[in-house]
Amino acid sequence: MERRVVVTGIGVISPLGKKDQLWENLLKGVSGVGRVTRFDASDYPVQIAAEVKDFDPAEYLEPKEIRRMDLFCQYAVAAAVQSLSDARLKITGANAPRIGVLIGSGIGGVSTIEKQAQVLREKGVGKVSPFLVPMLIPDMASGQTAIITGAKGPNSCTVTACASGTHSIGDAYRIIARGNADAMLAGGAEAGVTPLSMAGFIAARALSARNDEPERASRPFDQQRDGFVMGEGACVLVLEELGNAQARSADIYCEIIGYGVSGDAYHITSPAPEHEGAQRAIKEALADARITVNDVGYINAHGTGTRYNDYYETLAIKKVFGERAYQIPVSSTKSLTGHLLGASGALEAGICALALKHQTIPGTYNYEYPDPDCDLDYVPNQARKVDLEVAINNSFGFGGHNAVLAMRRWGSSNE
């Protein structure tokens, strides 16, 4: 019999702040989007992003460690340290082999690649940093987190573009469920607001160009949506076997009850028609959770604000849920946080956990012009108090990677 898995800690580095500030800003409708400050973007057709503000890596790392980590890795470690503190979980010599790390990233240390490529061009091969490779590879978020925290259990990294964080949490959930670990630090990290990365997404025509209205640029499901807004940050959850969590009287946010995955096998960037792969992932998550479409009370959508993603995700939800689709609140918190790429699914899983705990659904902001092709209840422009038992989190990545988590409220009915 599979073991039950609960969320006992949440750590966040985001454009809207740490966990408590993030939640407060989501409920107030505060946007994390603004003009790019990471570099001079004045010659770029897109000059906006959702950047992390006021991040001080010295709160979590020694100076030498900071110099040897790319920013995405610093975010990951910071979120992991926060999550352990939030869970009140101490890693000791006795439990370390049973606590693992699985933190995904879509593009890893892209800023290190850019900086060291410039060093190579300008100063030659002898000046390239000996830490280049360990700073750029995506798995180093998990590696460095384990080194800093002492977690010696299963250690891995999922790289599935914008589904990386959700895949990481889902895979960690299964590691615990089958008995290979008692707890996992799981999530995603990204720091892609860089000249090359933004230029690439601009060339792919994926980004919103509402430079004069940064806070209104991310418009999931709105008829006037024109692309997503690049975001950055990290979210790491402490997943824990239920008995282990109860034995130490941990506070529980929610229970993870299902996980669905699929591949489109269709196109490198576009979703399959009617998001057929997403449909299968949602159905698998429901089946894994042993629930029906009538049990789902909230969907945190992938909802990027791109023309085809939002349309096809809406179709997928309709195909899976039928008429019930029109009764389920569906919101995209990317309207305020921007799109954190490989960290987005992890942040949104954390938001689902908070929604279940607080019985409140964050809204989809900047929803002003209804799209006839996107006609579900997108919780427009304000949060909503609800009686919420089950939420699902959708994430879809370039390359046709689909991942869906199902999560249940923790309360008297399932304790």
Burial of 226 (0-12, 13-18, 19+ CB in 10 A): middle
8 A C-beta contact, residue 19 and residue 82: yes
193: helix, coil or strand?
coil
Region of residue 8 (phi > 0: left; psi between -120 and 50: alpha; otherwise: beta): alpha
| Strand 5-13, strand 233-241: pairing | antiparallel
| Strand 298-300, strand 330-331: pairing | parallel
Please tell me the distance from the alpha carbon of residue 22 to that of residue 235, in angstroms, as a whole number: 11
Burial of 293 (0-12, 13-18, 19+ CB in 10 A): middle
Using alpha carbons, select from 1, 66, 5, 72 the residue that is nearest to residue 259: 5
**DSSP secondary structure letters along 96-119:** GGGEEEEEE-SS-SHHHHHHHHHH
Instruction: Supply the residues annotated as catalytic.
Output: 162, 302, 339
Using alpha carbons, select from 235, 234, 236, 238 the residue that is nearest to residue 176: 238
Please tell me the distance from the alpha carbon of residue 385 to that of residue 397, in angstroms, as a whole number: 30
Residues sharing a CB contact under 8 Å with residue 122, sequence separation 6 or more, in sequence order: none
